[in-house]
Amino acid sequence: MFNLSVKGHGECVRYIKSWGIPLILSGGGGYTLRNVPRCWVYETSVAIGQDIKNEMPLNKYRDYFCPDYKIHLPVSNIENQNPMSKIELINKQIFDNLKHVSPVGGELSSYANGGAQPPRHANIDFKEIEQLKED
Protein backbone atom coordinates (compact mmCIF):
# COMPACT_ATOMS: atom_id res chain seq x y z
CA MET A 1 0.00 0.00 0.00
CA PHE A 2 1.56 3.28 -1.14
CA ASN A 3 -1.26 5.42 0.26
CA LEU A 4 -1.17 7.84 -2.66
CA SER A 5 -3.73 10.60 -2.67
CA VAL A 6 -5.79 11.37 -5.76
CA LYS A 7 -3.43 14.31 -6.37
CA GLY A 8 -0.48 11.94 -5.94
CA HIS A 9 -1.87 9.74 -8.71
CA GLY A 10 -2.28 12.83 -10.87
CA GLU A 11 1.36 13.79 -10.25
CA CYS A 12 2.44 10.36 -11.51
CA VAL A 13 0.50 10.99 -14.73
CA ARG A 14 1.96 14.51 -14.99
CA TYR A 15 5.50 13.13 -14.56
CA ILE A 16 5.12 10.47 -17.28
CA LYS A 17 3.37 13.00 -19.53
CA SER A 18 6.37 15.35 -19.14
CA TRP A 19 8.52 12.86 -21.07
CA GLY A 20 6.70 13.85 -24.26
CA ILE A 21 6.14 10.27 -25.39
CA PRO A 22 2.83 8.60 -26.30
CA LEU A 23 0.85 7.75 -23.18
CA ILE A 24 -1.79 5.12 -22.54
CA LEU A 25 -3.56 5.08 -19.19
CA SER A 26 -4.86 1.71 -18.07
CA GLY A 27 -6.67 0.52 -14.98
CA GLY A 28 -5.22 -0.44 -11.67
CA GLY A 29 -6.65 -1.83 -8.51
CA GLY A 30 -6.55 -2.11 -4.78
CA TYR A 31 -8.51 1.03 -4.05
CA THR A 32 -11.90 1.62 -2.53
CA LEU A 33 -14.75 1.60 -4.99
CA ARG A 34 -15.58 5.24 -4.28
CA ASN A 35 -12.01 6.38 -4.87
CA VAL A 36 -11.47 4.68 -8.23
CA PRO A 37 -13.75 7.13 -10.09
CA ARG A 38 -12.21 10.05 -8.20
CA CYS A 39 -8.76 8.92 -9.23
CA TRP A 40 -9.67 8.23 -12.85
CA VAL A 41 -11.45 11.50 -13.43
CA TYR A 42 -8.53 13.43 -11.96
CA GLU A 43 -5.84 11.41 -13.78
CA THR A 44 -7.73 11.88 -17.05
CA SER A 45 -7.99 15.62 -16.43
CA VAL A 46 -4.21 15.78 -15.88
CA ALA A 47 -3.56 13.68 -19.00
CA ILE A 48 -5.62 15.99 -21.22
CA GLY A 49 -4.46 19.19 -19.48
CA GLN A 50 -7.94 20.17 -18.27
CA ASP A 51 -8.43 21.71 -14.82
CA ILE A 52 -11.49 20.40 -13.02
CA LYS A 53 -13.38 21.57 -9.96
CA ASN A 54 -13.03 19.67 -6.71
CA GLU A 55 -16.80 19.74 -6.20
CA MET A 56 -18.57 16.88 -8.00
CA PRO A 57 -21.22 18.04 -10.44
CA LEU A 58 -24.83 16.99 -10.02
CA ASN A 59 -25.45 13.58 -11.54
CA LYS A 60 -27.42 10.46 -10.69
CA TYR A 61 -24.41 8.87 -8.90
CA ARG A 62 -23.44 11.89 -6.82
CA ASP A 63 -25.04 10.61 -3.60
CA TYR A 64 -22.66 7.67 -3.69
CA PHE A 65 -19.89 10.15 -2.80
CA CYS A 66 -21.62 11.72 0.20
CA PRO A 67 -21.09 13.42 2.54
CA ASP A 68 -18.26 15.43 0.93
CA TYR A 69 -19.03 15.25 -2.83
CA LYS A 70 -15.40 16.08 -3.58
CA ILE A 71 -12.73 14.65 -5.88
CA HIS A 72 -9.92 15.27 -3.39
CA LEU A 73 -10.29 13.95 0.15
CA PRO A 74 -8.07 14.48 3.17
CA VAL A 75 -5.16 12.03 3.16
CA SER A 76 -4.38 9.64 5.97
CA ASN A 77 -0.90 8.98 7.26
CA ILE A 78 -0.80 5.24 6.63
CA GLU A 79 2.78 4.05 6.33
CA ASN A 80 4.01 2.71 2.99
CA GLN A 81 3.82 -1.06 3.53
CA ASN A 82 5.72 -2.10 0.41
CA PRO A 83 9.08 -3.70 1.20
CA MET A 84 11.88 -2.80 -1.21
CA SER A 85 12.14 -6.49 -2.16
CA LYS A 86 8.57 -6.36 -3.47
CA ILE A 87 9.27 -3.18 -5.46
CA GLU A 88 12.37 -4.79 -6.99
CA LEU A 89 10.35 -7.89 -7.91
CA ILE A 90 7.67 -5.77 -9.58
CA ASN A 91 10.35 -3.87 -11.53
CA LYS A 92 11.89 -7.18 -12.65
CA GLN A 93 8.48 -8.41 -13.80
CA ILE A 94 7.92 -5.20 -15.75
CA PHE A 95 11.28 -5.52 -17.51
CA ASP A 96 10.60 -9.21 -18.20
CA ASN A 97 7.27 -8.23 -19.80
CA LEU A 98 8.99 -5.53 -21.87
CA LYS A 99 11.05 -8.27 -23.54
CA HIS A 100 7.88 -9.20 -25.41
CA VAL A 101 7.01 -5.67 -26.57
CA SER A 102 8.02 -4.34 -29.95
CA PRO A 103 7.84 -0.55 -30.01
CA VAL A 104 6.52 1.32 -33.01
CA GLY A 105 9.41 2.06 -35.37
CA GLY A 106 11.57 -0.68 -33.83
CA GLU A 107 13.52 1.56 -31.43
CA LEU A 108 12.69 2.65 -27.91
CA SER A 109 14.77 5.80 -28.30
CA SER A 110 12.79 7.11 -31.28
CA TYR A 111 9.33 8.49 -30.62
CA ALA A 112 6.38 9.24 -32.83
CA ASN A 113 6.39 12.85 -31.61
CA GLY A 114 9.45 13.83 -33.62
CA GLY A 115 12.16 11.92 -31.79
CA ALA A 116 11.88 13.89 -28.55
CA GLN A 117 13.85 12.40 -25.69
CA PRO A 118 12.53 12.24 -22.14
CA PRO A 119 13.99 14.82 -19.78
CA ARG A 120 17.30 13.88 -18.19
CA HIS A 121 15.63 13.52 -14.80
CA ALA A 122 13.44 10.72 -16.16
CA ASN A 123 14.98 7.49 -14.89
CA ILE A 124 14.55 5.49 -18.06
CA ASP A 125 17.40 3.15 -18.84
CA PHE A 126 16.80 2.56 -22.55
CA LYS A 127 20.01 0.55 -22.88
CA GLU A 128 18.72 -1.86 -20.24
CA ILE A 129 15.33 -2.06 -21.97
CA GLU A 130 17.00 -2.70 -25.33
CA GLN A 131 19.21 -5.38 -23.73
CA LEU A 132 16.17 -7.07 -22.23
CA LYS A 133 14.48 -6.97 -25.63
CA GLU A 134 17.48 -8.71 -27.23
CA ASP A 135 17.75 -11.47 -24.57
Q: Any long-range contacts for 128-133 (C-beta under 8 Å, 24+ apart)?
A: 128/95, 129/95, 129/98, 132/95, 132/96, 132/98, 132/99, 133/98, 133/99, 133/101, 133/102, 133/108
Answer for the pair 42, 120: CB distance below 8 angstroms, yes or no: no
Same domain, 106 and 93: yes
Q: Which pTM value belongs to this model?
A: 0.63
- Domain-ending residue, one of 60, 77, 94: 77
- Domain-ending residue, one of 36, 62, 77: 77
pLDDT at 51: 95
Query: How many alpha carbons fall within 13 Å on the CB side of residue 65?
Result: 21
Same domain, 63 and 86: no
20-72 pLDDT, tens digit per residue, is 888 888 876 656 788 888 999 999 999 999 999 999 999 999 999 999 999 99
| Number of domain units in the chain | 2
Mean residue pLDDT of the chain comes to: 77
pLDDT at 32: 79
Answer for the pair 6, 39: CB distance below 8 angstroms, yes or no: yes
Instruction: Give me the domain span that covers residue 127.
Output: 82-135
Same domain, 54 and 118: no
- pLDDT-derived band at 133 (thresholds 50, 70, 90) equals very low
Same domain, 22 and 56: yes
Same domain, 39 and 71: yes
